[in-house]
Structure 1
Amino acid sequence: MPKAHVVVLPMPCQGHVIPLMELSHRLVDNGFEVTFVNTAVNHALVVRELPEGDDEALRRRGIHLESIPDGLADDEDRKDLNNLIDAYSRHMPGQLERLIREVEAAGRPKVRWLVGDGNMGWSFAVSRKLGIRVASFWPASAACLAIMLKIPKLIEDGVLNDNGWPVREETLHLAPGMPQLHTSLLSWNNAGDPNGQHIIFDLVVRNTKLNDLAEIVVCNSFHEAEAGVFKIFPNILPIGPLFADLEFRRPVGVFLPEDMRCLNWLDGQQDSSVVYVAFGSMAIFDPRQFQELAEGLELTGRPFLWVVRPDFTFGLSKQWLDDFQRRVAAGGNGMVVSWCSQQRVLAHPAVACFVSHCGWNSTMEGVRNGVPFLCWPYFCDQFLDQSYITSVWRNGLAVSLGADGVVTKEEVRRKVEQVVADAEIRERARLLRDTARACISVGGSSHENFKRFVDLLSD
């Protein structure tokens, strides 16, 4: 009997591709065949970063990488979420239908399920049209999804207007145990140019309605982390924290080359000494903020590993950056890389704290490894994740902006020292790590939810 064939579709962003690729590996481990669909641009990035021959190894394993166009020209900015969402929402439905028909016509097994990113709700309608059953995967916090599901009620109560903008300046707190969030920090109102906000809000509203087409909703979280959410939304099943394999050897769809030299560098550092700094794949700093952060890391006097993507800042003097890198490298107290294997870094005993944008992937990876956080959110749901870290789990602190909106080097130094020196924060981080690991172990809540998920997909 052929393996059950599942199509997996992420939103075309790095933080969505990784958890769905991790989930795909877990599905293959349980006997499924997966067709993983990226946009053409992201597919090329993923294939480029695979070790030679690993695309064939993935196929033999049961993960077939496919692609469809996103509707943008090659030179258009895919970090402009308004533009990206507008284009793929119009262009990709027909392309996905075509791809599924072609895959089946080529002799592959009939697609039985779509495991689709909850941000790609249009794909649920395409799948149902083709007679394919739908499972929704939510890649952010369950609290983020809960707030989106409450939008009609928030509009009815006069908290939001019909366009998603706050009518009242207040702090939302949907249930005990959930993080608080000010209405000025809602994810759809902090995702780029305000002139395009309606595109993202319309997408959110459509997705929450299309979510009804899914037979099950799973998320990359665990029960104890968001117990308040799962109490009011018991049909959202946490199956995380997700990871592809304990040795971090399976490819998870990264877009940039990983600099493995940093692992050897970490081997040479003392346990619990290194400040790890990474802001994900989307954040951009202006030159002044970049310099304040750089000089703040130097001021700590601690070894640090800093991920600086090629597009992390614009307008910075190349000479200044070269001098900074030479200075910290010569002193042996700092290493700057363009990208790294974050899960391997966070699992390393040398790491003392994580200066993070608080994307949900990064948050779950830090939690699973018991690493305290210094929060520095950039956009979307990251402010909500910060609220979890600083107010609910209390396994980290947050930076404070100055009156001019800049985090100073003195603030960086001060907050890093507070996080690293706080024994209670470290202990809470350790306890949350132990809880997360218990959830994914045999008999744990996430483990049992995943079995339920697999049983449904096998039906």
Structure 2
Amino acid sequence: MLGHVSPMLKLAKVLSLRGLLVTFLTTEHVHRRLSAHDGVNSCPGFFIRSIPDGLPADHPRSAGRFMEVLVSLAAQPQETYRDLLVFLRHPWPVTYAIVDVFLPFVAEVGEKLGIPVTTFGTGGPCGFWADFCIPKLIEAGEIPLPAREEHPVMESFLRRRDLPTPCRVKDFSDGLLQGIGAATQRTTHRRGLIFNTGEPLDAAVLAHIRSTCPVTYTVGPLDTILCALDCPPGSAAGPLSSSSPCWWREDRTCMTWLDAQSPKCVVYVSFGSLTVLSRPQLLEFWHGLANSGHRFLWVIRPDMLKEADGASNIPAELAEATKEKGCVVEWVNQREVLAHPAVGAFLTHSGWNSTVEAISAGVPMICWPFFFDQMVNSRFVSEMWRIGLDMKDTCDRGTVGRTVKAVMEGERADDMRRNVAGLSGMVRECVDEGGSSRIHLDQLIEDIRAVSLETSAGMLLGSHCG
């Protein structure tokens, strides 16, 4: 969920800093998690509201049960969302809504109230387009996937195992498969579509998307824009804070540890906020990292293991190897870690936010995607952009060790570093004044203001006529 909340919250803050009155709506569970670790702040013109998600307080809301959250939210009566949007008219009217692509039921309520709605694709364009193609794949009889390895979703670029995980189902009537395909298709009925990316990074896929969603804004990387707006050069940190929202308290000791390391000698390891590992998988990764010969900084969340006691009784040789070469923490400021000169590679779950942050920082990746669009993102990292290696669907110690060594010191390592440095420069140009992301952000804000004036006038007329 943090992968969806983070870019939405950053966009809300950016719009607020640009002078719009913004209310950020989330669930009570998410609001509690953010508030517990100072991951979200408000200021004049920026407000946060929350609603129940319909699940009991002790529900884990983890990756394995992620769909239960969406199903519960979708099951809430439309009156709940309608009454909320009406309530939010105070102290000012709701004149425009930006809604997560996977919450189409909220968008539909807004539209019934006459509120213009734009969709935010919180993942990347490549994952969105693969999801968008699902109904066509079903119609063509391609899902369940046939025996052949290649698939023409993106001009034969993607292999079967590179498609989003819902495509791996054996029954085309699977609710998750149908739901994701339908949700992305509905974006064609919205006012526009937003992505947290830079235009040149995804130009080929964006051309496909704009053939069906012509009004598509690329406004990323949002954290870079937010940082520039919230704390310009020479100023102190602004009231909204440009750092990413936190699920857990950050461990700052890792920065001191990184300061003591040589340039580009550390592998940063983080599997995001939802990925879960079994104890055997954890140990395979641990052996592989220890055997690679490289130092590593590893984020192991308190809820990352499937077994409650899975972190206990780590073999003595691994504990010793970690003491000599590694640093293990519960959570970090990822943007800050990736920017540290000691970090030479990123072992990642290939979530879109992590992928964009690594590209912005110029850090090559070792990809171990867990689910959904991460499968597509990792393929783009390895074969489209050539800024890392993909080891999806396997995590044996030999593969982990060899892949880490290949990215850190292999014959392609210099090429990957040059490629990611080039992309990093392109992305920085996007967010500079006059760059494509700034231009698209200005266009989005102009559209919001123009439509809001029309909506406000219509609401005023309605009140007088009533």
TM range (shorter): 0.7 to 0.9
1:379, CA displacement in angstroms?
0.8
**Match of 2:221, SS?**
coil
1:197, CA displacement in angstroms?
7.9
Query: For 1:278-334, what per-residue CA distance to the aligned partner results, in whole angstroms no more than 9, with x for missing partners?
Result: 001111111111111112211222221101011111345554239578535642x21
- Determine the structure 2 residue equivalent to 1:171: 150
CA distance in 2, matches of 1:184, 1:349: 32
CA distance in 2, matches of 1:22, 1:355: 24
| Structure 2 residue corresponding to 1:85, chosen from 64, 67, 70 | 70
1:232, CA displacement in angstroms?
2.1
TM-score when scaled to structure 1?
0.86
CA distance in 1, matches of 2:14, 2:274: 27
Label 1:389 to 1:83 Cα distance change in 2 as closer, same or farther (>3 A): same
Q: Is the 8 A contact 2:127 2:164 kept in 1?
A: no
1:423, CA displacement in angstroms?
0.6
Matched letter for residue 57 of structure 2 = D
1:168, CA displacement in angstroms?
5.5
Label 1:411 to 1:187 Cα distance change in 2 as closer, same or farther (>3 A): closer
**Match of 2:256, SS?**
helix
CA distance in 2, matches of 1:368, 1:417: 22
1:392, CA displacement in angstroms?
0.3
Query: For 1:95-114, what per-residue CA distance to the aligned partner results, in whole angstroms no more than 9, with x for missing partners?
Result: 3222222232xx31101111
| Structure 2 residue corresponding to 1:431, chosen from 418, 422, 442 | 422
Q: How many residues are paired up?
A: 428
2:232 maps to 1:241: no
| Structure 2 residue corresponding to 1:359, chosen from 351, 358, 371 | 351
1:407, CA displacement in angstroms?
2.1
- Determine the structure 2 residue equivalent to 1:321: 314
Q: Is the 8 A contact 1:23 1:242 kept in 2?
A: yes
**1:266-305 equivalence runs, <5 A:** 266-305=258-297
- Determine the structure 1 residue equivalent to 2:464: none
Label 1:71 to 1:143 Cα distance change in 2 as closer, same or farther (>3 A): same
1:400, CA displacement in angstroms?
6.4
- Determine the structure 1 residue equivalent to 2:178: 202
2:35 maps to 1:47: yes
Q: Is the 8 A contact 2:162 2:376 kept in 1?
A: no
Matched letter for residue 105 of structure 2 = W
- Determine the structure 2 residue equivalent to 1:125: 108
Q: List structure 1 runs of 4+ shifted beyond 6 angstroms.
A: 193-197
- Determine the structure 2 residue equivalent to 1:146: 129
CA distance in 2, matches of 1:251, 1:369: 15
| Structure 1 residue corresponding to 2:160, chosen from 182, 190, 204 | 182
1:368, CA displacement in angstroms?
0.8
Query: For 1:239-275, what per-residue CA distance to the aligned partner results, in whole angstroms no more than 9, with x for missing partners?
Result: 2122131568435432221112212221221111110
Percent identity at matched positions?
28
Query: For 1:393-435, what per-residue CA distance to the aligned partner results, in whole angstroms no more than 9, with x for missing partners?
Result: 000012265xxxx522222221111101211111111111111
Matched letter for residue 75 of structure 1 = D
**Match of 1:335, SS?**
strand
Query: For 1:142-201, what per-residue CA distance to the aligned partner results, in whole angstroms no more than 9, with x for missing partners?
Result: 1222223323332333223xxxx335644234446x9524167334246xx989982322
2:406 maps to 1:418: yes
1:335, CA displacement in angstroms?
0.8
Q: Is the 8 A contact 1:69 1:95 kept in 2?
A: no
Q: Is the 8 A contact 2:290 2:322 kept in 1?
A: no
- Structure 2 unmatched runs, 5+: 232-236, 451-466
CA distance in 2, matches of 1:338, 1:357: 16
- Determine the structure 2 residue equivalent to 1:68: 51
**Match of 1:99, SS?**
helix
CA distance in 1, matches of 2:244, 2:262: 29
| Structure 2 residue corresponding to 1:59, chosen from 43, 55, 60 | 43
